[in-house]
């Protein structure tokens, strides 16, 4: 009996989703994270979830895992020691960058120091021109001398970054081969083109360096992780979630750890896309609120947006990723008073240890969770079905200390904490919707994460969103989303050819190279032919522009007619993005991209089986708006029946989250177990 497991590690909780397709069983499990060694909570969670449900670990067929190890290592700069070898004259390129301030109006804020200090940045004589001609041959003798210096520096990784190697990688490959032969076996040596071979040297160099910095960290983590799984008799080869959605093998994660830098949020968006599409919702804004942060994303037609350039820990990263906007607002976000004597919430979080004050683990800082306990929105006795005790008095004391400093009442301060954190989330959603020409009122809000359903109605009302959708297990959707992912790998070739007679030949050369690379990957992963598929896109721009627009491409052989169709699609895409098009301006093809997909078996989404309407099992007084509390019925989520309507005010509690239906609003359970909340009135976007 095959068992599939999805695991998502957050700053506060580690979530485990278990699927047994043959028995039509879905098991959801949640436990506190262990931030210092996240693998400990993972292994303990898998072992406990299986043992409590009478499942044999040896039957586990697939284990998919989203991790924040790489992200945290870069933020904290707890990485391996990296050296860089580059073309003579370009030693300082990764420090000079684009000469753009991180924030235009903050003259004091500077870019973070480079991950490679100047004394570990080495130059070697070599130069290939943009047309491929060798201007200066690779100085192999000089490279041999550098190997001695690199060995003395005791670095963990050497990254080779040469000019124009995105199109002409031969010099990089020669240098990598020589350095691997000359350096000790434990030193990783990699080229920039092996990470992501795209033009723009600053972003390419930065991405390669970030990958090199994570090699030792990720490999050490994966060693501990796999050893822990072996101890509990799990034999399945784990898969790792990628920033762009989809999974990758352990071997690829060891080689390209940077691809997993934003894996958790991507898994959540993927899970939301899958469930929303089945339930008939195409245009949604996802709201994923955890203990430390909030991730929001916009989907049109059920397809998440994708970006190719973003930042991590202040460094540019040029790799495909699900378009997610993250802010420091979550259940564990700490409320504090700024120097202007105004209430602020986050971005600092209490995390899992010591956590909010009400966890009774030693913290006395007031958090969003404590505020919700004071307001009665959260159970004041225990969370996680009683496994995590809550001390209500500690929450009251923490919020009351803040209230005294502000000169406000207890409930007024608690409501202020919730409203300030909700305003942070609203601002994040505006950035991906209003600022890009989309009216949030035309979307539904898909709320998940442990704290998402608590934030959702406040956020939706401010944005003019009339419907909020909460999946059956919102706190574990990121882990659940991993059960429905395919294996994916992205490939790119820069073409840089003007639209015209020369374009088809150049594009076909790039196409042939991408097909060869993707077939090698499919073969390496052992993917059967019937499970292989690909999607194509091409980056285009008007000549002289500095940024490109991605246009979907069928991936057929290019001829004059195909190029003309792409031109028309580009003009239409440019007008949609910028409000105008210039059909008479010359256009350039820039990058050709292929996404290889290895389709995996996925369990079908089960219909909600409860048919007898559940009754409230308790009631408590809750403050929704203003200072007056309202006697509110409490429902159990697993007792709600398909088609059942709940009129607000109401609270719905479950293992992984708590859901609010405000007075005047109503919620209805659909066929798939989603609770769809209709708001009586909205403020407007």
91 Cα distance to chain centroid: 32
The encoded tokens of residue 48 equal 């406990």
The one-character DSSP state at 604 is: P
- Number of Cβ within 10 Å of residue 156's Cβ equals 18
**Per the domain annotation, does 656 fall within a domain?**
yes
Using one digit for the tens of pLDDT, what is the confidence trace for 134-143? 999 999 999 9
Together in a domain, 122 and 211: yes
Specify the pLDDT at position 682.
67
Specify the pLDDT at position 685.
45
Together in a domain, 59 and 88: no
Together in a domain, 398 and 530: no
The one-character DSSP state at 134 is: E
The encoded tokens of residue 253 equal 């994660």
User: What span, in angstroms and rounded, lies between the C-alpha atoms of 293 and 489?
Assistant: 27
User: What span, in angstroms and rounded, lies between the C-alpha atoms of 601 and 4?
Assistant: 10
Query: Residue 135 half-sphere exposure, CB side, CA atoms within 13 Å?
Result: 14
Indicate the angle between helix axes 140-153 and 170-182, nearest 10 degrees.
50
Any idea which residue has 């991906």 for tokens?
Answer: 432
Together in a domain, 499 and 400: no
Together in a domain, 50 and 84: no
Report the CATH number that the domain containing residue 122 is assigned in CATH: 3.40.50
Together in a domain, 62 and 81: no
Together in a domain, 50 and 93: no
Report the CATH number that the domain containing residue 504 is assigned in CATH: 3.30.1490
Report the CATH number that the domain containing residue 57 is assigned in CATH: 3.30.420.40
Specify the pLDDT at position 565.
96
**Per the domain annotation, does 229 fall within a domain?**
no
- Number of Cβ within 10 Å of residue 672's Cβ equals 17
Residue that terminates a domain, selected from 402, 419, 436: 419
**Per the domain annotation, does 294 fall within a domain?**
no
**Per the domain annotation, does 174 fall within a domain?**
yes
Q: What are phi and psi of 289, to 5 degrees?
A: -110, 120
The encoded tokens of residue 669 equal 């359970």
649 prior amide bond cis, ω within 30 = yes
**Per the domain annotation, does 564 fall within a domain?**
yes
Helix or strand holding residue 63 (H, E): strand 60-66
**Per the domain annotation, does 476 fall within a domain?**
no
Specify the pLDDT at position 110.
77
User: Which residue blocks in 232-325 are alpha helix, DSSP H?
Assistant: 250-255, 263-278
Q: What SS3 class is residue 145?
A: helix
Helix or strand holding residue 507 (H, E): helix 503-525
Q: What SS3 class is residue 634?
A: strand
The one-character DSSP state at 362 is: S
Q: Which domain holds residue 2?
A: 1-66
* Residue of 401, 65, 89 whose CA lies nearest to 238: 65
Together in a domain, 167 and 197: yes
What's the structural domain count of the chain? 5
Q: What SS3 class is residue 540?
A: strand
User: What span, in angstroms and rounded, lies between the C-alpha atoms of 663 and 665?
Assistant: 6
Q: Which residues of the chain have pLDDT under 70?
A: 1, 11, 352, 384-386, 682-685
* Residue of 514, 506, 498 whose CA lies nearest to 589: 498
Together in a domain, 657 and 566: no
* List of residues 6+ apart from 212 with CB closer than 8 A: 80, 82, 157, 158, 159, 188, 190
The encoded tokens of residue 293 equal 């942060």
Radius of gyration of the chain (CA): 26
Q: What SS3 class is residue 196?
A: coil
Together in a domain, 107 and 161: yes
Residue that terminates a domain, selected from 200, 218, 236: 218
Together in a domain, 47 and 88: no
Model-level pTM?
Answer: 0.86
Residue that terminates a domain, selected from 544, 566, 598: 598
Specify the pLDDT at position 684.
53
Together in a domain, 393 and 494: no
Helix or strand holding residue 597 (H, E): strand 587-598
**Per the domain annotation, does 434 fall within a domain?**
no
The encoded tokens of residue 160 equal 């080779």
CA 477 vs CA 15, 37, 62, 118, 474: distances in Å = 9, 23, 17, 44, 5
User: What span, in angstroms and rounded, lies between the C-alpha atoms of 497 and 589?
Assistant: 5
User: What span, in angstroms and rounded, lies between the C-alpha atoms of 218 and 156?
Assistant: 13
- Number of Cβ within 10 Å of residue 218's Cβ equals 26
Using one digit for the tens of pLDDT, what is the confidence trace for 44-58? 999 999 999 999 999
The encoded tokens of residue 263 equal 């894996």
Distance between terminal CA atoms of the chain? 50
**Per the domain annotation, does 328 fall within a domain?**
no
Q: What SS3 class is residue 369?
A: helix
């Amino acid at each position: 009996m095959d068992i599939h497991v999805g695991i998502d590690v957050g700053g506060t909780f580690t979530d485990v989703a278990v699927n047994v397709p043959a028995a039509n069983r879905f098991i959801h499990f949640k436990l506190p994270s262990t931030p210092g060694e996240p693998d400990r909570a993972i292994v303990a969670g898998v072992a406990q979830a299986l043992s409590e449900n009478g499942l044999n670990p040896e039957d586990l067929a697939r284990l998919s895992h989203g991790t924040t190890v790489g992200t945290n290592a870069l933020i904290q700069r707890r990485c391996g020691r990296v050296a860089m070898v580059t073309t003579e004259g370009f030693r300082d390129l990764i420090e000079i960058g684009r000469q753009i301030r991180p924030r235009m109006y903050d003259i004091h804020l500077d870019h973070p120091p480079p991950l490679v200090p100047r004394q570990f940045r080495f130059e070697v004589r070599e130069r290939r021109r943009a047309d491929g001609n060798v201007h200066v041959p690779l100085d192999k003798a000089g490279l041999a001398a550098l190997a001695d210096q690199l060995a003395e520096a005791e670095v963990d990784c050497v990254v080779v970054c040469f000019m124009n190697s995105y199109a002409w990688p031969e010099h990089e490959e020669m240098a990598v081969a020589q350095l691997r032969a000359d350096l000790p076996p434990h030193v990783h040596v990699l080229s920039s083109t092996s990470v992501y071979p795209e033009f723009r040297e600053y972003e390419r160099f930065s991405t390669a360096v970030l990958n090199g910095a994570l090699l030792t960290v990720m490999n050490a983590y994966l060693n501990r992780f796999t050893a822990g799984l072996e101890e509990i008799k799990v034999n399945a080869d784990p898969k790792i979630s990628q920033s762009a959605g989809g999974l990758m093998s352990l071997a690829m994660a060891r080689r390209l750890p940077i691809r997993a830098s934003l894996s958790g949020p991507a898994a959540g968006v993927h899970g939301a896309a899958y469930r929303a599409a089945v339930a008939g919702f195409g245009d949604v804004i996802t709201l994923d609120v955890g203990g430390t942060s909030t991730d929001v994303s916009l989907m049109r037609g059920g397809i998440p947006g994708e970006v190719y350039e973003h930042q991590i820990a202040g460094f540019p990263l040029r790799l495909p990723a699900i378009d997610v906007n993250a802010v420091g607002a979550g259940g564990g976000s700490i409320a504090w008073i700024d120097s202007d004597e105004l209430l602020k919430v986050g971005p600092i979080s209490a995390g899992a240890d010591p956590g909010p004050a009400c966890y009774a683990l030693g913290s006395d800082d007031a958090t969003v969770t404590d505020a919700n306990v004071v307001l009665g929105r959260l159970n004041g006795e225990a969370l996680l079905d009683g496994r995590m005790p809550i001390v209500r008095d500690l929450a009251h004391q923490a919020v009351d200390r803040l209230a005294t400093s502000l000169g406000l009442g207890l409930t007024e301060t608690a409501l202020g904490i919730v409203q300030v954190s909700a305003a942070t989330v609203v601002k994040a959603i505006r950035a991906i919707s209003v600022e890009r020409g989309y009216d949030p009122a035309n979307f539904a809000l898909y709320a998940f994460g442990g704290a998402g359903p608590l934030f959702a109605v406040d956020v939706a009302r401010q944005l003019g969103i009339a419907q909020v959708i909460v999946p059956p297990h919102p706190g574990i959707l990121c882990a659940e989303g991993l059960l429905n992912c395919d294996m994916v790998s992205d490939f790119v070739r820069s073409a840089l050819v003007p639209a015209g007679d020369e374009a088809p030949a150049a594009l076909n050369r790039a196409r042939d190279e991408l097909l060869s690379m993707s077939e090698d990957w499919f073969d390496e992963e052992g993917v059967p032919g019937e499970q292989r598929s690909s999607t194509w896109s091409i980056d285009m721009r008007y000549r002289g522009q500095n940024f490109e627009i991605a246009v979907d491409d069928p991936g057929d052989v290019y001829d004059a007619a195909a190029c003309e169709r792409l031109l028309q699609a580009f003009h239409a895409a440019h007008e949609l993005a910028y409000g105008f098009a210039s059909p008479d301006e010359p256009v350039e093809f820039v990058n050709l991209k292929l996404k290889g997909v290895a389709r995996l078996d996925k369990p079908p989404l089960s219909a909600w089986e409860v048919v007898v309407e559940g009754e409230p099992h308790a009631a408590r007084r809750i403050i929704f708006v203003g200072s007056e509390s309202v006697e509110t019925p409490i429902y159990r989520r697993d007792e709600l029946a398909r088609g059942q309507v709940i009129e607000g005010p109401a609270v719905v509690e479950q293992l992984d989250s708590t859901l609010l239906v405000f007075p005047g609003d109503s919620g209805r359970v659909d066929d798939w177990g989603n609770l769809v909340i209709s708001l009586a009135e909205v403020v407007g976007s």
